[in-house]
Amino acid sequence: MTAVRNLSSVAPQERGEKPIRPRLIGVGVHDILHDRGTIEWAVDDAVAGRDSVHLVHAYVPLRLDGCAWSPVSKVRDRRHTVATRIVSQAVQRAIEGATEEHAGIEIGGSAIAGLPEDVLIELSAVVDLLVIGDDSFDTLVKRKITARVQDRVECPIVCVPRNYRAQADERPVTVIVDEFGLCEEVMAFAAAQASRRAVTLQVSRAWSALHEGKLAGPGWLAEQQEELDEQLATWRSHHPHLAVAARLELGYSWLDRVRSISSLLVTASRSADLLRSPGETDHRCPVAIIP
């Protein structure tokens, strides 16, 4: 059961908004097999003539600094060569896969020595948006890094499931609200995504974040819905171009349902654990965590 209220039926558009500054989009790449969807998401999100996309592959270097012995040099060079090849292939894949709309995007790449999580966290201090593959539920990945990176990044991070494929998607961008209520940075990021995709901005709050134990009844639910609507009213008045829907999610399987009807989930880093539940289905959608 889901309590729903539509706050606007106006189609979302970007006209009338202030010019958006160029973004640096960093993309963590393991290899093309693992990260095809990640690359597609990043390129699809970039704006031609404005944004730059930089693909990064982290590799573990040979830790024998200062040693010039030939066997050591060969292994050191081999690791760097392999990493450089992976980046080159990923960049080529990104360029070839770009649609006509995204053909003018500046795309580059780097092979960087270091542990993946360390490299990605450092990169987050440089870029405006970090995009990585989500290994949280990937049975083929033994050493998972998604949660570690999410908890320490300095910029917004989008984690893309392995089975993701870029496509025209009319499903809403959904903000997951915790017990602390709306967060301006989260709302701003989600609104920008919804505007760019021309979809509804949905704000969902799980009843379990409001009330421990059994539901207090229809009256209590109505009060919570009204409170959520009031919180959105002031924010929405400054973004009249967006269609906005507010929802109270009921039941313990609410996250599976929200995943299935959303093109992107957005929440604050303090609430990242809310989206780490494996759920009862295999359905996944990209997740954005805002620090």
Domains of the chain by start residue, with CATH: 2-17+167-290 (3.40.50.12370), 24-127 (3.40.50.620)
User: Residue 165 has what pLDDT?
Assistant: 79
What's residue 281's pLDDT?
61
Q: What is the pTM of this model?
A: 0.86
Among 256, 247, 42, residue whose Cα is nearest residue 156: 42
CA distance 175 to 188: 10
- The pLDDT of residue 178 is 82
Contact 105, 53 (CB under 8 A): yes
Number of helical (H) and strand (E) elements in the chain, helices listed first = 7, 11
CA–CA separation, 276 and 48 (whole Å): 33
Residue 7: CB atoms within 10 A of its CB come to 18
Sign of the C-alpha dihedral, residues 143, 137, 266, 170? positive
Q: What is the pLDDT of residues 91-101, one digit of tens each?
A: 999 999 888 78
Encoding tokens for residue 81?
């060569």
Distance, in Å, from the CA atom of 104 to the CA atom of 97, rounded to the nearest integer, reads 12
What does 197-224 look like in DSSP terms, one character per residue?
Answer: HT--EEEEEEGGGT-SSS---HHHHHHH
Q: How many CA atoms lie within 13 A of 67 on its CB side?
A: 13
CB 209 within 8 A of CB 187: no
Q: Is 59 helix (H, G, I), strand (E, B) or coil?
A: strand
- In angstroms, the CA 50 to CA 39 distance is 18
CA distance 219 to 118: 49
User: Which residues of the chain are modeled with pLDDT < 50?
Assistant: 1-16, 210-212
